[in-house]
Chain A
Amino acid sequence: KQEVTQIPAALSVPEGENLVLNCSFTDSAIYNLQWFRQDPGKGLTSLLLIQSSQREQTSGRLNASLDKSSGRSTLYIAASQPGDSATYLCAATTSGTYKYIFGTGTRLKVLA
């Protein structure tokens, strides 16, 4: 059974700092892994999707990597801004089920 873990649960950094959010999964047989952003009281916004055959994806200041052998994905945020403050969720789609299994998220606060 796939389990997804995100550590830390919360993180505060000063503006301008580069940071890494971590996502671990127990079953390496995944179709893809997706990173989402959730603002308070809002739904989820897709940030990046990495398919199982890919190692990384980039969008602007965001870079997501995938290492299936170690069961890890990281989301790298460059030059963080207060507007990046939100909860970041990762979700893995396990081979054969098509379901998203979500982590509990990392709540990020970027201080001005």
Chain B
Amino acid sequence: ETGVTQTPRHLVMGMTNKKSLKCEQHLGHNAMYWYKQSAKKPLELMFVYSLEERVENNSVPSRFSPECPNSSHLFLHLHTLQPEDSALYLCASSQEWGGGRSAKNIQYFGAGTRLSVL
């Protein structure tokens, strides 16, 4: 176990549904991340939160809406998704954001949520 828990592990939704992905970290970290992993493509960073403030938004469509109510929890709210949004969504956390060369920048990943959009 990495200390980062994601739920649900699998999710199937229609294009008109609204659902949420949840991530919880038990490591006392201050930074949390959402990544998208599509088949045969590199992991894509979507959002970064540091001390509950969003510090990075990598041109992600507005149908993906992140929420970080506290430093231990991160959500990704989904609505009116497209079939091409089907992917593995990974959450990660690190001790700090912008730790540069230090080990505080090491990211710990959850097991992911496998999302299928029909």
Q: Residues of B with Cβ closer than 8 Å to A?
A: 2, 4, 6, 40-43, 45, 48, 56, 90, 92, 97-103, 105-112, 114
Q: Is the interface of B mostly helix, strand, loop or mixed?
A: loop
Q: Residues of A with Cβ closer than 8 Å to B?
A: 4, 31-32, 34, 36, 41-46, 49, 51-53, 89, 91, 93, 98-104
Q: A43-B112, A45-B2 are in contact. Are A100 and B101 (CB under 8 A)?
A: no
In the assembled complex, 21 residue pairs joining A and B whose CB atoms fall closer than 8 Å, in A order, are: A4-B42, A32-B101, A34-B106, A36-B109, A41-B114, A42-B111, A42-B112, A43-B6, A43-B109, A44-B109, A45-B109, A46-B106, A51-B101, A52-B101, A53-B101, A91-B43, A98-B98, A98-B105, A99-B56, A100-B43, A102-B43
Q: Is the interface of A mostly helix, strand, loop or mixed?
A: strand
Q: How far is it, in angstroms, between the C-alpha of A96 and the C-alpha of B83 when the chains are bound?
A: 35
Closest to B107 in A: A100
Q: CB distance A43 to B4 under 8 Å?
A: yes
Distance of B29 from chain A, by nearest CB (Å): 14
